[in-house]
Structure formats: C-alpha cells, structure tokens
Amino acid sequence: MLWVERIVALLLALLAVCPLFAHAEDAAVSASTFYLAETETQFSVNIANDSSDVFIYFTSPAYSWVGVGFGEGMANSFMLIMYPSKDGNNLTISPRIATDHSEPSVTPDVQLETQPGTGIVDEMFVLKAICRDCRVWPSGFLNVDTTAQPMIYAFGPGNRLQSDALDAPLKRHIRYGKFTMNMKAATGKGGVPAASSAMSGVEMIGGLTRDHDRANLAHAVLGSLALFVLWPLNLVLAGFLRKIGIHVGMSVFILVFLVIAYALGISTSHEYNRSKAFTSPHQIFAFIALLPILLLSILPIKPIASLSPKIPRLHAPLTTLTFVLLVVTGGLGLHLSSSPRPIALAYGAIALLAFAFITLLQMCIRRRGSAYARATTRRRLGEDDEQTLVLANRSTSAASSDPGSVYAEPGHARSASANGGLYGGGTMPGPQYLMNMHPGVPVHRW
C-alpha cells in the first residue's frame, strides 16, 4: 500500500506543476502591448515567425464600439472594430479598411478566427483571435521589421450599438489617439498574448484626444432654428406689420440658414457609409424640398408675379408644403444619425406645436388679411389710413376748440360757406368721407 500512496503523491505534484508550465508557456509568447490606464484598454500583438498569422489580444470597456487600427491615420488603415451582438450577450468583430477620414468599410479579404474566451465578460469586450492574411491589405501593409509601426485607436459614443452585422453603421468616435508598436519585439512563437496591464514595446503619441462632430451639430441646429424659430416669427411679421420689406428680409435670412444647413449636411454625408450614396430617405426628402424653396424664392419677383393673378396665391400653400417637407426631412435625419429616442420624441413634440401655431396664424391672416395687404387696398381705393384719420380728427377737434383759430386773419374764417356749402365744414367728417364709409348716401349742397 505504500507504493500506492507514493503514486498518488506523485500525481498530485504533477498536477500542481502543470499550471506553472502553462503559465511559463504563455509568458514565452512574444508580444508588444499597448495599455491605456484611463479606460483599462489593452491591445497586444504577436507576430508568428513560422507563418503569416498575427495573434491578437484586445480588451476594453463595452462602449458602443471600440476600434484599433494599423496605420498613421484613418485613411488607408486596417482596423478591428468591436461592438455588442444584437442580443447584447456576445461580441461582433468587424475587420474594416478606411479609404479616407470617414467611416471604414468591411473588408472581405481578412480572415479572423476567434479563440475561446472571446466575448463580453464583466462588461468588458474581450477578443482573443488569430488574424490570417492581415499583414497586407489593398491600401497598406503591416511592417513586421519595424520598431515603430504606426497605430491608432478610438472609442465610440456612449449610446449602445447592438448588431450582428459586420457592416453595422457607426457613429463618429468621441475619443481617439495614436501610438507606435515594436513589431520586432512582438515576433516569436505564435500564440495569443496574455492579459497584462504593463506597457511593452509601445510609445504613445500624444494623449487621448476628445473629438467633436461640430459640422453635424451645426447642421441640425441651423435647420431647427430656421424651422421652429425664424419661420413662425417671419409669419408673424408678414401678418401684422405693414412693411413688406421686413418680411422679405426675414425670408432671405431663413434662406441663408437653410443653404448653410444644406451645405453642412452634404459635407457630413461623405463621412458615413449609410449616407455616401445620397439615397437615404432623409436626403431624398431634402432634395424634394428644394423645389418649393426655389419657387418661394422666385415667384414673388415682380416680372414673374405679374404673369398671372394666380401666381401670388401660390405663396401660402407653397409655404405650408415647404415647412412640412423640411420638418419630415429633419425627423428622418435624426433616424439616419441614430439619435437617442428622447431627442427624437422632443423633436416630434416641438414640430407638432410649431405646425399648430403656424396653422392657426395662417387661418387668422387669411380671414382678416395681412396688414400690408389691407394697407395696400386702402391706398388703391383712395381711402385714408386708419391712423391718418385718427390724427386728422384730433387736429380738427383741436382747431375748432381754439376760438382764435377761426378768426385769426380776415378772409380765413372757417365756416360752412368757406367749404363750398358742404356739410361737415366744422369738426364733423365731410360728406366725401361719409360716402366712402357708406356708399350710396346722397350728398346735399346748400
């Protein structure tokens, strides 16, 4: 029985030593390691010296997406983008290549084989993989003989992206940075590097830089101001001010806002795969809205407006149509940019309130006519302005109440005979005014 106990003890000793051998084997894997303490992000690379494979260990907090790339910048770089799967329980790894400073596109030429342990662990992305045929790509290559291979990394925004698709649309990164990696130090026996929080074979280039999508934000803000602030204000000015020039000036101001918003939208469209072709519903509606905007701009021109009496009547329906098209365009833009639901709901509520206010205001103006139209009609019919009549009545009353005004000079006494024998020679309105107020009333002379 003594020999049995010795065999058991030997087996136990071997079992205790095996993890040490395994750890020694892991430690023997050559690797260069990038570690960012701010986010606990690790990216380690091993270059196999007996094949063209590249072994990768990558871990980072579960943002909407996280990416690392081989290259000096986004243009012509090979990247690995990670984001949660559709059910949120697994990890989607998307190999992509960027052709410009824009969203990278999926490349089918790279084969990525994930290893056990890949997934989302304790809200951390963990990638253990073998990258085959990824040392050379159409627009660049991985220089395994350099001690300073340019590298980039980036983090997506806080809102969650969940998709099983390799070409899932990405929002612009909020933070990014650069570093160099020693490929010679990473070359050795092929194997997935171990987890580590120690920087090795890496030099940082600057720090973690915060990014701002100012053009896209300005595009949304200018469009919203034009629709929900300047547009209703312009309608108020058109309905209640007698000077048409103010309405025209405000219309030009709104047009400038819209032109800038369009220009910014076209500029930012080139940054994303989903909008590069200009075939999204947001862009289609934006192009359709250009037609009524153009008509609103040229129809009021006098030579065109005088061609037919029906042309000025098109202004109101064209205004409503343009407003509706632009509001729908803005809502589709929020969907295209994957905006959070609260922002979309707020936009919808503001749009409904603005539409209700504009509709009521247009009904009021249509019923009573605009101040400019009423003033123009009075001048065409030879009638006095209401304000002018009030001032005239006040001045007449003041003159009649002054005793010296009637007999100030000989020959200038104000009487019925001095007015040609017409009623109304004193403070009462003359018969011509009465005729204007009540057409058909006869006028009698002395």
What backbone torsions phi and psi does residue 9 show, to the nearest 5 degrees?
-65, -40
Contact 46, 55 (CB under 8 A): yes
| Domain's final residue, options 163, 194, 211 | 211
Q: What angle do CA 366, 370, 374 make, to 5 degrees?
A: 115
| Neighbour-count burial for 105-131, b at 16+ CB within 10 Å, e otherwise | eebeebebeeeeebbbeeeebbbbbbb
Q: With 70 as the cut, is the pLDDT of residue 358 above it? A: yes
Same domain, 85 and 136: yes
Same domain, 170 and 230: no
Q: With 90 as the cut, is the pLDDT of residue 324 above it? A: yes
Domain presence at residue 108: yes
| pLDDT recorded at residue 379 | 62
Same domain, 74 and 150: yes
Identity of residue 363 = M
Dihedral angle sign, alpha carbons of residues 170, 171, 172, 178 = negative
Instruction: Render pLDDT for 112-162 as a digit per residue (tens, 0 to 9).
Output: 999 999 999 888 999 999 998 889 988 889 999 999 999 999 999 876 789
| pLDDT recorded at residue 410 | 44
Q: Which of 189-193, 321-325, 421-425 has the lowest mean pLDDT?
A: 421-425
Domain presence at residue 368: yes
Instruction: Render pLDDT for 269-298 as a digit per residue (tens, 0 to 9).
Output: 988 989 998 999 999 999 999 999 999 989
The total of other beta-carbon atoms located within 10 Å of residue 238's CB is: 23
Domain presence at residue 11: no
Q: If you average pLDDT over residues 168-183, what whole number do you get? A: 93
| pLDDT recorded at residue 99 | 83
Alpha-carbon gap, residue 41 to 9, rounded angstroms: 43
Domain presence at residue 165: yes
221: alpha, beta or left, given left = phi > 0 and alpha = psi -120 to 50?
Answer: alpha
Same domain, 70 and 143: yes
Instruction: Render pLDDT for 369-400 as a digit per residue (tens, 0 to 9).
Output: 666 666 666 665 555 455 555 555 555 555 55
Q: With 90 as the cut, is the pLDDT of residue 412 above it? A: no
Total domains in the fold of the chain: 2
Q: DSSP letter at 110?
A: -
- Helix (H, G, I), strand (E, B), or coil: what is residue 171? coil
Alpha-carbon gap, residue 233 to 226, rounded angstroms: 10
Q: Average model confidence (pLDDT) for the chain? A: 81
- Helix (H, G, I), strand (E, B), or coil: what is residue 317? helix
Same domain, 168 and 190: yes
Same domain, 308 and 168: no
Domain presence at residue 130: yes
Domain presence at residue 390: no
| Domain's final residue, options 324, 354, 376 | 376
The enclosing domain of 150 has a CATH number of 2.60.40.1210
Alpha-carbon gap, residue 287 to 88, rounded angstroms: 37
Alpha-carbon gap, residue 413 to 247, rounded angstroms: 48
Helix (H) or strand (E) holding 91: strand 91-98
Q: How many residues does the chain have?
A: 446
Same domain, 193 and 224: no
Instruction: Render pLDDT for 228-243 as a digit per residue (tens, 0 to 9).
Output: 999 999 988 888 887 7
Q: Which domain range does residue 296 map to?
A: 215-376
| Domain's final residue, options 211, 237, 265 | 211
Q: Give CA separation, 251 vs 72, 247, 293, in Å.
A: 47, 6, 11
Same domain, 269 and 141: no
Same domain, 87 and 160: yes
Instruction: Render pLDDT for 60-106 as a digit per residue (tens, 0 to 9).
Output: 988 889 999 999 988 889 999 999 999 888 999 999 998 888 899 99
Question: What's the Rg (C-alpha) of the chain?
Answer: 39
Alpha-carbon gap, residue 182 to 187, rounded angstroms: 9
Contact 109, 131 (CB under 8 A): no
- Helix (H, G, I), strand (E, B), or coil: what is residue 133? coil
Same domain, 152 and 281: no
Reported in sequence order, the residue ranges of 202-314 that DSSP labels E, i.e. its strands, are 202-210
**Nearest of 88, 122, 71, 195 to residue 80 by alpha carbon:** 71
Same domain, 242 and 359: yes
Alpha-carbon gap, residue 156 to 103, rounded angstroms: 12
**Nearest of 224, 227, 225, 219 to residue 319 by alpha carbon:** 227
**Nearest of 194, 259, 156 to residue 31 by alpha carbon:** 194
Same domain, 265 and 344: yes
- Helix (H, G, I), strand (E, B), or coil: what is residue 103? coil
